[in-house]
Amino acid sequence: MIPIKPVSSGGKTASTPIETANAFLKPGALHLTALPPLSLYVHFPWCVRKCPYCDFNSHEAKGGFPEDDYLAALRADLEQALPLIWGRKIYTIFIGGGTPSLMSAAGLDKLLADIRTLLPLDGAAEITMEANPGTFEADKFKSYRDSGVNRLSIGIQSFNARHLQALGRIHDDKEARKAIDIAQANFDNFNLDLMYALPSQTLEEARRDVTTAIGFAPPHLSLYHLTLEPNTYFAKYPPVVPDDDASAEMQDMIQELTGDAGYQHYEVSAYAQPNRQARHNLNYWQFGDYLGIGAGAHSKISFPHRIVRQMRYKQPKSYMEQVQAGRPVQEEFEVGRNELGFEFMLNALRLNNGFETHLFAERTGLTINAIEKALNAAEAKGLLYRDHKIIKPTELGQRFLNDLQQLFLN
């Protein structure tokens, strides 16, 4: 729990903020006995080119991007957010995008120096940066490591030149391999992102991608099924992709190859060598807290009696202007009690090994009875296993995860 010190007032001890809040609690307020671990997410919104499948908040950096102005805005954004997280330690940092590896070595060094100046970091903090192979330069990535980044997440997507072209990637298969070589030379910990069920992809082509990735022995693999998201080029002009049966065969193949290579399939799309799970993502899936800074970044912040979500302005120019005006948050709302059970389960059920039963009360402030009806229904359908210690999806529940999660939606 975060310690809160009494404030001296007129020679006598004033009430603590928690005591004051208790006196004015709204009906139905939460009662969190401890605040969850806190992560920091930093969004970098620019890319060389927008991929046709991407629905993230990313913008083409035509003619460059205002690095210095954006870094100044990130620092100001963080400074303005500090009152929300006073006294709380940061356990993981994730710099995502966009393509953060477009940043200069000096820019990344300034960003991490500003974060260390303003926030208390755990001594073993995991600091991850997303990187695309087309941006890899050996000297720059060595500088990133020297600045404090200790984990890379490399957006390979495929080792097949034809598929990379179909996905609109700016790198080719040779650059993908070169990027991994540079990562191996400079980082002890890294992740490879791959996609499957790509346009016109065969089972054998998917197998070669996964086998090639495993051959580099990455500590972590993320293997995503291509989805045609709304408001993307692929949604407007859908490519021919493998059908459900072919996709299922690819998933079974992935399960077999990664298992044989010693990877644990611990989350829907995540595979890790022993003790190499992504700690930042685990915090999301276990309904931990995260402060998001940067254009379009999202936050989830817990307080003793409420949980708040925020979203920053999405357009980089608007974001920087709003930060300067002292109001970077475009949307903010308190998560209602009737939504908390679903939000928790939406995340936690992604974990194949589920969660310890007590975690539900710790992270939501509710008793497990709040979702008892849905738990019983899921168990009756064979989608869920539970005992007094653990709640987790069954193998059937993993295959029909959307149906399982839907049961907890009020």
Which residues face 331 on adjacent strands? 311
**Hey, do 38-282 and 338-410 end up sharing a CATH topology, with the first three levels equal?**
no
- Mean pLDDT score across all residues of the chain: 91
Note the CATH architecture for domain 338-410. Answer: Orthogonal Bundle (1.10)
Q: Is the pTM higher than 0.85?
A: yes
> Where do the domains of the chain lie?
38-282, 338-410
How much of the chain exceeds pLDDT 70, in percent?
93
Three-class secondary structure of residue 106 per DSSP: helix
Q: Tell me: the pLDDT tens digits for 97-122?
A: 999 999 999 999 999 999 999 999 99
- Separation between Cα atoms, residue 151 and residue 68, nearest integer Å: 24
Q: Tell me: the pLDDT tens digits for 379-390?
A: 999 999 999 999
Contact 399, 382 (CB under 8 A): no
- Please tell me the predicted confidence (pLDDT) of residue 211: 98
259 compared with 6, residue with greater pLDDT: 259
Alpha carbon separation from 27 to 15, 261, 336 (Å, rounded): 21, 53, 12
Please name which of 296, 292, 333, 300 lies closest in space to residue 318, comparing C-alpha atoms: 296
**139-148 mean pLDDT:** 94
5 compared with 289, residue with greater pLDDT: 289
Superfamily (CATH H level) for 38-282 = Aldolase class I (3.20.20.70)
